[in-house]
Amino acid sequence: MFGIPEKHFARYYEILSVLIRHGFGHWLIPGNLSTMPEKNLAYVGVHLRKAFEELGAAFIKIGQIASTRSDLLPQPIIRELEKLQDRVPPLSYGIVRRVVEDSLQSGMELVYKKFDPIPLAAASIGQVHQAVMHNGERVAVKVQRPLLRETVKIDLEIFQILINRIEQRTKYGKRYPIRKIFEEFSETITRELDFLNEGKNAAKLLKLSKGNSNLVIPKIYWEFTHPSVLTMEYISGIPLHQVSQETTYNTHRIADRLSKVLLQQILLDGCFHGDPHPGNVLILPGEKIALIDFGITGHLSRSMRDQILLLVTGLVRGNDALILKTLSRMGIVSDSVDRQIFKADICALQHKHMNVTQGRFAIGESMQDFFDIIFRHGIQIPSEFLLVGKTLLTLEGTLKELDPTLSLVEQAKPFSRRFIWRRLRFGNIWRIFWGD
C-alpha cells in the first residue's frame, strides 16, 4: 500500500492514526473529513507539534530542525515547532550497559572504573551519565537509545511517502518546498545520530579555542567513542540559567565573555555552537564559560562569514541595496522578486528595530524578522545562515537576562572593524598589483 514495505505496515498505521487524530487526515487519505482550518496557521502549528511529539525521535528532530527554517515556513508554524520537547523516561541501567558494551566491544568495568547508573539528563536520542576513567579522570558518557538509527531510518522512509501525498493533495505541498526541507533535515538527523560527528565538532571548537583562557570545551576520549557512545571530559559548573540565583558571579562579565565567544566563533573561526541555550552553557569559577552538547554546530566558509557581516551591516543601516546585493551574490534572488516592495519591507524593518534615542539594535530579532521578509518574497538562503540567525536570537535573549545594558551590536563592532581592515588591505594589494 502506497509503496510501504510490508514490514513497516504497523509503524505506518501508527503514524497515520496520530496524524488523522490531529486533523491531518485530509492531507493523506482521499475523502477523509477530519480537517482543520488551514487558514489558521497557528492552529495547524499546534497540532503539528503535538503530533510530532507523539511520534517520537525522528519526527521531533524534523520539527526542531524545521523551526530554524524561517525562510521556508511561516512564522506561526515556526513558533509552535520551537516548543517541541523531547523529554522521555530514562533508559534502564541494564539497557545502557548493553549499548556501551556492544558499542565499545568491552566490559563496562574494563572501560570505566565507576559509572553512575542514574543519568544526568535524558532525551529522545539518548542520555548522559557521569563516570570515572581508570586513570581517575571524570567523564560524561552520552549513550544513544538502542535501535534508534534503524527506527529513524524507517520513519524517514515513511515520511518520504507521506510527503508525496502532501505534495499531491494540499496547497501547502504545492506552495512550500517540503521535499527540499525533508531531504535537508534527513541528512542533518542522520549526522546527529552519529556521535562521532558530535565528537569531531567538539574537537574542532576545542582546537579553535586554544588561545582563549575564558572558554572551556570538553576534550573527547576517542578510544571510548563510537557512533552510539560519546565519552568526553566532564565539566563541573553551574548551568547558566541558575547564575542569576547566585550572588557571587559577575553577570556583566559573563555576558561580555559569552557574547564575544560566540561572535568569535561565527565571524572569525567559522565554526560555532549552534544551540547556546542556557542549559548548554556552564559557568565555572572566575566567570569562565564552558560549552557542552555539540550535536548542532554551524560551519561557515570565509565568504559566508563576509556575507553575514555585510547582511548585518545592511540591516543595521537599513541599506536595502547592500542587502539585495549580498543576497544576489549568494545566487538566491530570483528575477520575480519585486525590488520596490522588498525595499519597503526593509525600511519598515529598520523603523521597527532602530531606537533612535537609545541607539540599540537587536541583531537576532531583526534577523528573524528579516527571514520572515525573505520568506514572503520567496527567497531561499543556505541553512547555515538560518542557524546563525537562530544562534544570535538565542544569545540576545540570554544576554538580556544577564545584563540588559549590554548591546550585541557594540560587541560585534571590533569583529566588523577587523573584517573591514582585512578587505581594505586586500583591496590595496589588488590595486597595487594591477596598477590602479
Helix (H, G, I), strand (E, B) or coil at 271: strand
CA distance linking residue 273 with residue 265, whole number of Å: 8
Return the closest-CA partner of residue 350 out of 339, 361, 337, 364. 361
Could you tell me if 120 and 280 are in contact, meaning their C-beta atoms sit under 8 angstroms apart?
no
- Rounded to 5 degrees, what angle do the CA atoms 231, 85, 381 make? 85
Q: What is the DSSP secondary structure assignment for residue 355, as one 8-state letter?
A: B
Return the closest-CA partner of residue 373 out of 329, 313, 327, 307. 327
Return the closest-CA partner of residue 188 out of 158, 152, 141, 161. 152
Could you tell me if 149 and 2 are in contact, meaning their C-beta atoms sit under 8 angstroms apart?
no
Could you tell me if 342 and 314 are in contact, meaning their C-beta atoms sit under 8 angstroms apart?
no
Return the closest-CA partner of residue 157 out of 371, 336, 316, 11. 11
Q: What is the DSSP secondary structure assignment for residue 145, as one 8-state letter?
A: P
Count Cβ atoms below 10 Å from residue 286 Cβ, excluding itself.
10
Return the closest-CA partner of residue 391 out of 267, 287, 252. 267
Long-range CB contacts (within 8 A, 24+) of 73-79: 73/176, 73/181, 73/375, 74/41, 74/375, 75/372, 76/41, 76/42, 76/44, 76/45, 77/41, 77/42, 77/44, 77/45, 77/48, 78/45, 79/42, 79/45
Active site residue 102: no
CA distance linking residue 393 with residue 396, whole number of Å: 5
CA distance linking residue 102 with residue 129, whole number of Å: 17
Exposed/middle/buried for residue 330 (C-beta within 10 Å: 0-12, 13-18, 19+): middle
From the candidates 155, 275, 293, 320, give the one annotated as an active-site residue. 275
Helix (H, G, I), strand (E, B) or coil at 130: strand
- Strand boundaries in 75-193, DSSP class E: 114-115, 121-122, 126-132, 138-144
Active site residues: 275
